[in-house]
Every structure is written in structure tokens, then in C-alpha cells.
Structure 1
Amino acid sequence: MTKKEYQPINCDDYDNLELACQHHLVLEIKLEDGEKLEAKACDLLLRKKVEYLIVEVGGEQRELRLDCIVYFSHPTIGKIEISLAD
């Protein structure tokens, strides 16, 4: 788990994650530690000023810090490289 200060992500990227959650899309996600996973987007969560994507992987829920996601992709929305807010 990273201890660096949270960096909010670009609004357009956030909106795409919101859309993915609304439609429960199964996303291919790459994290900055190199981990790749296929996970169903469930919800977005804000806790202590840090935003998380709640995903379901193999029947279990995980919380992914938004600023730790390198990219996510799905056939209907394409590949979205996460950029930090200005």
C-alpha cells in the first residue's frame, strides 16, 4: 500500500470510471506497481480525501486508489491512460 499523498485524477478519466461503474463493465486495469487485472467496476468511493475504484475480482472486492491506476480499458470505451488533475 502506498503512503504517498493522494493526487486527484483528471475529471474526464473519473467520468469514464463512473460510466464503467454504472454499466458494471469488466475492465482491464494496470496498476503502477505493474500488476494487471481484469475486474468488474462496481463503485467509486471517497475516504479521507482519497478516491478509490471498488472492483470485483474473482468474487472478491478490492479497493484501487485512483492515482495508482496507470490505465484501464474496455472494448466500448477504449484504453484510458489515467492522467492527474492539473
Structure 2
Amino acid sequence: MSMNDAYQPINCDDYDNLELACQHHLMLTVELKTGDVIKAKAQDLISRKNVEYLVLDDGGNSQELRLDKIASFSHPEIGTVVVSDS
């Protein structure tokens, strides 16, 4: 997965659901477009050089995922959200 790909912003409703997950530090199951699955706590949304990232905490290890590389995310309170481009 090249980080040099042109960033494609995600749909505003999907972004709002990620914001809610971060505010409540929800434990998310995130499926990437590569098929990888990550289970971690949503911490924050950040923007760096016009690219947006979801910051996850996986047992003390912090990682950043480009929003346009996320296929879907889920939690019992918000259900499963299939991420689409804006």
C-alpha cells in the first residue's frame, strides 16, 4: 500500500461516525481495503498535509490509518459502516 497515492476524502457521514467513535473511545473492528482487520480503540482524527488519518490505540501501541484505506469499521453501538468516497 503506497502512501503516495492521491488522497480521496471519505463521505461526511462516515467521517462523522468515526468522530463519534473517537469521542467515546470505542473499540472498533476496522477492515482495510487490503483485507487486513484491526481491532483497536479509536483515539483521534488528524490531518497532515491534506491527508486524514484515524489514530487507533492497540493496547498502548498507537497507529495511524489513512481514512481512504479503510473499507469498513464496526462497533455494536454504531453498527457496521462501509466507507465510501465523498
TM > 0.5 fold call: yes
* Residue pairs, 1:30-49, within 5 angstroms: 30-49=31-50
Q: Give the structure 1 partner of residue 68 of structure 2.
A: 67
Q: 5+ unaligned residues in a row in structure 2: which ranges?
A: none
Q: Give the structure 2 partner of residue 76 of structure 1.
A: 77
The number of aligned residues is 85
The code of the aligned residue for 2:63 comes to R
Q: Give the structure 2 partner of residue 16 of structure 1.
A: 17
**How many percent identity over aligned positions?**
59
The code of the aligned residue for 1:75 comes to P
Shift of residue 33 of structure 1? 1.4
Q: Give the structure 1 partner of residue 5 of structure 2.
A: 4
Cα RMSD between the aligned structures? 0.8
User: Aligned partners of 1:84 and 1:57: how far apart in 2?
Assistant: 26
1:9-67 deviation per Cα after TM superposition (whole angstroms, max 9, x unaligned): 00000000000000000000001111101010000000000000000113200000000
SS in 1 for 2:5: coil
User: Aligned partners of 1:58 and 1:5: how far apart in 2?
Assistant: 31
